[in-house]
Amino acid sequence: MFALYESNSDSFTVPNLEVKSKILSLESTIQELPLQDVLIESSYFGKDVASVFEANPLLPGVILIDRQGRFVGMISRRLFFERMGSRYGIEMFYKRPIEALYHFSQIDISILPGNTLIVEAAQKSLHRRPELLYEPIVVEIEPNVYKLLDVHQLLVAQSKIHELTSNLLQKQTQAKAIQTEKMASLGRMVAEVAHEIRNPVNCIWNNLIFLCSYLEEISKLLSTYDEISEPSPIINQIKEQIEYDSLQEELSETTQGIRFGSEQLLKIVNSLRNFSHMDESQKKPADIHECIDSSLLILNNRLKYGIKVIKNYCTNLPMVSCYSGQLSQVFMNLISNSIDALNEKYVELEDSNWQPQIKITTEVIVGKDNDRVSITMADNGLGIPLEIQDKIFDNFFTTKPVGKGTGMGLAISHQIINEKHGGKLKLKSLQGKGTEFEIILPIF
């Protein structure tokens, strides 16, 4: 829109101020709002400005420029008619250059860049002096290109964004509550399953200890019989039939296999029990390495296919006061994401020589006031594009196909670390090279 008084004309070209509403978002800026660019040379008379305002009842003000088109200032509708309506206003300003009224008033003008967020602009507008609250805002679109924003339009837009934010927060809160309840239900179910598995496993383990002891005693007895007496032909025949020598070796290997399987089952049960502590009400000292190992054990089935896990554990890592079940959930989320990234890169590369790996490092960070623990999980997968890294912890944000990701995993992980534990969850990623997540936790 443009209205400039021509020296050889007796009238103005009045702009069409009708605008179309736009869909706003939290990142919307003031240059997306309806703006007016009604420009008038500062040498023209007050009566000329009055003609523009009378022809455009919704026009909040006009921008003043010099003969070279450079910005001079702004006069609002409110200020113009306030001055004109004052004693001697008509005599002083109606038939004199408008710059006289502008210099006489000398009010502060609010000038904001076009890329200013609507929410930020509204805050700045409302922090002005009371008499300036409803003055229009000058928007600098680019160098020496200015437009006007009606403060009412700004406040309406801010109100819409506030409503949008409230609705989004409500959805996020509901989604988090649902996800938390799902995890709590899963935790209870896992605890029940772990309990049901643990009882028979303990029975097997305890009986296995006695069985191994009995077999060892029987083996000693049979060896002693062989030493003190000459076996009869019948006994020799039976030994041959049952392959006595190899039977002793296989029996030992079998019991060792049962022992190993029982140990693995006990580890899995303990890992499940650790993961099931989702709804614990108080922090307790926990072994971070045990939490990580439990998560790796639960995800072991996904790690079998060529993914190398490198563990650089700090030898003197202290116990950390935490919600161990929630931390295990974070570790599982991060490791699971790394596995997905590695699998995707493997499909893209089709290179049998490439070694997918996850590197887990723990260390103590010594501070002035208190020490902290750092847990780093890095992979050499696809990496995360730079343009979306700022959104990676946002609710509902996911790069996975529909049905494969809720967009809540990293958001909840961020909440668990930052809010529940007073720590930090940091991201470093280079597209094509890999991703690293660092968790920093206070020890107490």
Q: Say how far apart CA 337 and CA 316 lie, in whole Å.
A: 28
Contact 434, 381 (CB under 8 A): yes
Same domain, 301 and 442: yes
Report the alpha-carbon angle 392-395-398, nearest 5: 50
| Half-sphere exposure for 78 (CA within 13 Å, toward CB) | 10
Please give the mean pLDDT across all residues of the chain.
79
Indicate whether 21 belongs to any domain.
no
| Predicted local distance difference test score (pLDDT) of residue 441 | 95
Same domain, 62 and 173: no
| Range of weakest confidence among 226-235, 291-300, 321-330, 343-352 | 226-235
Same domain, 332 and 372: yes
Same domain, 172 and 221: yes
| Range of weakest confidence among 89-93, 155-159, 337-341, 344-348 | 89-93
| Predicted local distance difference test score (pLDDT) of residue 292 | 92
Same domain, 179 and 51: no
Indicate whether 105 belongs to any domain.
yes
Instruction: Please write the tens of the pLDDT for every residue from 272-301.
Output: 666 555 556 688 899 999 889 888 887 887
Residues near 241 by beta carbon (within 8 Å), at least 6 away in sequence: none
Same domain, 249 and 195: yes
Same domain, 272 and 367: no
DSSP code string of 33-71: S--B--EEETTSBHHHHHHHHHH-TT--EEEEE-TTS-E
Same domain, 288 and 265: no
Same domain, 216 and 264: yes
Whether the model clears a pTM of 0.75, i.e. scores above it, the answer is no
Indicate whether 273 belongs to any domain.
yes
Number of domains in the chain: 3
Q: How confident is the model at residue 12 (pLDDT cuts 50, 70, 90)?
A: very low
Among 386, 393, 394, smallest CA distance to 429 is for 386
Indicate whether 197 belongs to any domain.
yes
User: For 261, left (φ over 0), alpha (ψ -120 to 50), or beta?
Assistant: alpha
Q: Which domain holds residue 187?
A: 167-278
Same domain, 294 and 431: yes
| Six-digit token string for 358 | 């996850």
Contact 437, 314 (CB under 8 A): no
Q: Say how far apart CA 435 and CA 415 lie, in whole Å.
A: 20
Indicate whether 25 belongs to any domain.
no
| Six-digit token string for 357 | 């790996």
- pLDDT > 70: what percent of the chain? 80
| Range of weakest confidence among 96-100, 225-229, 255-259 | 225-229
Same domain, 297 and 352: yes
